[in-house]
Structure 1
Amino acid sequence: MSASTAGHEPPHERTPGWEDVVVHRLRERASWPALTAAVLLYTLSSVRAYAKDRTGIDNAVVVRAAHTLLEGGSPYADKRFLYLPGAVFAALPQTPLPRRVLFYAVPPVTGALVALGVMLALRIFDVRADSRLAVAALVGTALFVPFQSLVFLGNWTAASVVALPAALLLARRGRWSGAGMVIGAAVALKPMLVPVLLLFVLARRWRALGWAVGLPAALSLAAAWAMPRPGLFFTRTLPFLLHGQDSYARPYDSAWPSVLPRLGVPHTLALVLAVAAGATVLSFARLRWRAGGEEALRLVECAALLMLAAFVVSRPAFLNYALVVVPSLAASVVERGAAARSVWFWMPLVPQVGGVPWPGLDTAQRHAFRDAVMYGGLAAVLALAARRRAGRRAGRSGAKEPGKGLVTLRNGDYSLCREVEPGATPE
């Protein structure tokens, strides 16, 4: 035995557990038959909306607003148009297309955007697009009721489904300004990702925050200047939103201020409970950020908590909003310590799988109760995971005797870490 190795045992290698074996298998390339079957199932689920008399209902609202602008009217004269001014101009390329073309085009285009968001979510954790996990993600998304709702409606939430994982991927690679630009562009179309601005605050990325705030502000001001009567947004559209829209949309709203009164809770108390719950979830988002850990996982779980806090409080919070956070959270299953590795993470999602009944809550008007359980359940699981992680970190920090630090002593190729008292000089 050489002198350099005498008295030193080889480092202990951790034996892979069953979870590590499963994750390794999920990361591997899937077979071509499996990939083909997943893509086919996903495509069929995207176009199942053709069985309905109408598709792209929500997209049609934005296109109608663009037609109104071309005719010299104000898009905000329509109370159903709830987007920022930039969305009107983004919809202009659709105005020359006949309704029949949009009927067939909107569902697959919406499905393609969601698929892109799923692939970007996988890339956050360095999972390849032809992996077994990608196959599982496509199949799971195809069976996910929020996805079926999104492609049927053609809702512009699809832009946020792409933007959030794209921004988190850029942030994970250290390109925070690029992440801010992506979030800003998405907010300019639909202000759904506004809660993610707090992620830049937690990370103290002020330049990125400037992009995320300044870009939609500039685009909205420019678009408002180019349209008649933009002030209707503040006098008509904003109050309509703050009051939870109207009796047509309210049954589909899963935010606490809408759901709790349907259970007999007074409106004022429901609002107080919602604000308290939202503030609690926000505090856990801050706790999750401070707990640290693997950067990709921290970004995804913290951003998800910020969005879920908004879904609890803000009105409206519809079923298809789940696609903004679920793909990235599901992809995090490959990371050790992820909340997605808990069976409790998947429990609120099971009732949202097509074909799984929930007696008494299967109608469209009662579906909001299932959605509230999903958002609240995900928020609770992520909050508890953040608390456990923070507790483990505090335990590791407190393991060292207070008042001592670590220094590294070197002698040739040999190094040793030892604790020293404050102010002491290492030998």
Structure 2
Amino acid sequence: MRRATWHLWVVLGVVLGALVVRTARVTSDGGMDNAIVVRAARVWLAGGSPYDDPHFLYLPSAVLAAAPQAVIGRSALSVLVPVVVTGCLVGGWGCALRLHGVGLRSRFAVLGLIGLAVGFAPFAHLVLLGNWTATAVLALPLGLLLAGRGRWVAAGAVIGAAVALKPLLAPVGLLFVFAGRWRGLMVMVGVPVTASVGAALLLPDPVGFLTRTLPFLLRGDDGFVRLYEASLVAVLPRVGVPGAVAGGIALGAAGAGVWCAYRRWRRGCEEIRQSRPSGPSRLSSPLCLAETAAMLMLSAFLVSRPSYDHYLLVVVPVLLAGLSCEGAVARGVWFWLALVPQLPGVTWPYLEAVQRRAFRDAVTLCGLAVTVGVRCFGSGRVFSPPPPLPVPSSRGAAPAERRAPGASEVPGVGE
């Protein structure tokens, strides 16, 4: 691809700069969601339990990670947090591009990022909230990039660090199981467990996550939060489906998604399963890694509590960056139709209220899950190449099987 001209870089800088400046002007503590974590850290520094706030849904390690923000002024946080969140989103897009072998200076790289920032509503929403989902947006493509180069232990460390901050990427552990990379899986599990146990010992309520947050997540009885959740277990009851039936549908859909991810892995990642890359410069099956991981995450979003619109940013850039690859799911029309509800500035009939946005998000989530699932279920068909046609010897030349290595099979060429 051609390199992007300076005009495109200027447009990108203006778009991202305007987003950061607007967020800094209208938020405090870096955004509503980041403020929850910062408030929990301030409570801990004051001697209280961060889990007194039912909306603090993070592991204990996140309290220590947020502690530096607790001693920074609110005005500084209002600028620093949107800059860091935007940097994570840009870094995640860059890693997704490198996963698929796309140059960072190409026009597609710049135009794709502009398109995400301008044409995909969850991008600006995530920056405005300052949600720590941004760490997962960066960690998933970076982890896949490392895994594609055979560095599964490093990939486990990256994913594990993101889980320690926010346990959003926990389903990616199944990717390590599919690949049989047990050392990488142990690192992925060990990093957040070690960090959380160590941090919990410093809290006045060491088991607060298990006794307060986990039951809250399982019950999902927060009427305010439920209005913004896009998972099937939250959306279906709002249209009259009994809770037990909605849970069964969501579990069935998630199970089907995991099966599709496993099928994608088995039918498309032979290079990773059967051999190791020869060196750090070689990348194995990027489409297989991206689509398998995306299917695992989408399956979790269908049934998880909570499940918000900005969670889509974890999978969309990884899939979109593969647009240049033959057979990528982003080349299908259904991928783009699933993203239509996320166009900013479009008012949809009967969904004008903010509290009904979850229905639009659920359409996108289910549309992406079905699209990627169909791709995973039917991909990776391997056809054996036809046997080479016999080439008659010319002028007494030796048969093809007796020729020296590197000799041409076409008579008269290379003689």
Tell me the TM-score normalised to structure 1 length.
0.85
Would you say the 8 A contact 2:25–2:78 is kept in 1? no
Choose from 8, 20, 25 the match for 1:46.
20
| 1:226 matched to 2:202 | yes
Residue 411 of structure 1 aligns with which residue? Answer: 403
| 1:108 matched to 2:98 | no
Cα root mean square deviation, aligned: 2.0
Choose from 321, 326, 349 the match for 2:339.
349
Would you say the 8 A contact 2:99–2:141 is kept in 1? yes
Where do 1:322-333 residues align within 5 Å? 322-333=312-323
| 1:153 matched to 2:145 | no
The whole-number CA distance in structure 2 between the counterparts of 1:121 and 1:245 is 36
Q: Map Cα deviations across residues 388-415 of structure 1 (whole Å, 9 max, x no partner).
A: 224x33xx25989xxxxxxx94532378
Residue 204 of structure 2 aligns to a residue whose secondary structure is: coil
Residue 403 of structure 1 aligns with which residue? Answer: none
Residue 354 of structure 2 aligns to a residue whose secondary structure is: coil
My pick for the range that moved more, 240-249 or 408-417, is: 408-417
Residue 356 of structure 2 aligns with which residue? Answer: 366
Choose from 224, 229, 234 the match for 1:258.
234
The whole-number CA distance in structure 2 between the counterparts of 1:382 and 1:399 is 31
Structure 1 residues 259 and 112: CA distance shift in structure 2, 3 A: same
Choose from 359, 363, 375 the match for 2:365.
375
Q: Map Cα deviations across residues 271-305 of structure 1 (whole Å, 9 max, x no partner).
A: 00000000001100001111216611100000000
Read off the aligned partner of 1:232 and give its amino acid letter.
Answer: G
Where do 1:34-183 residues align within 5 Å? 34-50=8-24, 52=26, 54=28, 56-143=31-118, 144-183=120-159
Q: Map Cα deviations across residues 189-247 of structure 1 (whole Å, 9 max, x no partner).
A: 11000000000000111110010011111111111111111222111111111122501
Structure 1 residues 378 and 306: CA distance shift in structure 2, 3 A: same
The whole-number CA distance in structure 1 between the counterparts of 2:301 and 2:160 is 20
Residue 161 of structure 2 aligns with which residue? Answer: 185
Shift of 1:104: 3.0
Residue 365 of structure 1 aligns to a residue whose secondary structure is: helix
The whole-number CA distance in structure 2 between the counterparts of 1:272 and 1:398 is 44
Where do 1:257-406 residues align within 5 Å? 257-292=233-268, 295-390=285-380, 392-393=381-382, 396=383
Would you say the 8 A contact 2:100–2:286 is kept in 1? yes
Would you say the 8 A contact 1:42–1:138 is kept in 2? no
Shift of 1:142: 1.1
My pick for the range that moved more, 268-277 or 62-71, is: 62-71
Would you say the 8 A contact 1:42–1:141 is kept in 2? no
Residue 174 of structure 1 aligns to a residue whose secondary structure is: coil
My pick for the range that moved more, 82-91 or 380-389, is: 380-389
The whole-number CA distance in structure 1 between the counterparts of 2:325 and 2:406 is 33
Q: Map Cα deviations across residues 138-174 of structure 1 (whole Å, 9 max, x no partner).
A: 2112121111111111100011011001100101111
Residue 254 of structure 1 aligns to a residue whose secondary structure is: coil
Choose from 170, 177, 180 the match for 1:204.
180
Q: Map Cα deviations across residues 356-411 of structure 1 (whole Å, 9 max, x no partner).
A: 33222232211111111111111111111122224x33xx25989xxxxxxx9453
Read off the aligned partner of 1:381 and give its amino acid letter.
Answer: T
Would you say the 8 A contact 1:46–1:148 is kept in 2? no
The whole-number CA distance in structure 2 between the counterparts of 1:253 and 1:410 is 67
Would you say the 8 A contact 2:27–2:128 is kept in 1? no
| 1:28 matched to 2:20 | no
The whole-number CA distance in structure 2 between the counterparts of 1:230 and 1:75 is 10
Shift of 1:416: 11
The whole-number CA distance in structure 2 between the counterparts of 1:47 and 1:249 is 28
Would you say the 8 A contact 2:20–2:79 is kept in 1? no
The sequence identity of aligned pairs, in percent, is 49
Read off the aligned partner of 1:159 and give its amino acid letter.
Answer: T
Residue 349 of structure 1 aligns to a residue whose secondary structure is: helix
Would you say the 8 A contact 2:341–2:361 is kept in 1? no
The whole-number CA distance in structure 1 between the counterparts of 2:337 and 2:251 is 25
Structure 1 residues 51 and 73: CA distance shift in structure 2, 3 A: closer
My pick for the range that moved more, 52-61 or 214-223, is: 52-61
Structure 1: which 5+ runs fail to align? 1-26, 401-407, 418-427
The whole-number CA distance in structure 2 between the counterparts of 1:276 and 1:30 is 45
Shift of 1:76: 1.1
Structure 1 residues 335 and 107: CA distance shift in structure 2, 3 A: same
Residue 390 of structure 2 aligns with which residue? Answer: none
The whole-number CA distance in structure 1 between the counterparts of 2:224 and 2:82 is 23
Structure 1 residues 414 and 186: CA distance shift in structure 2, 3 A: closer
Structure 1 residues 241 and 102: CA distance shift in structure 2, 3 A: same
Read off the aligned partner of 2:186 and give its amino acid letter.
Answer: G
The whole-number CA distance in structure 2 between the counterparts of 1:398 and 1:387 is 22
Structure 1 residues 365 and 399: CA distance shift in structure 2, 3 A: farther
The whole-number CA distance in structure 1 between the counterparts of 2:300 and 2:224 is 22
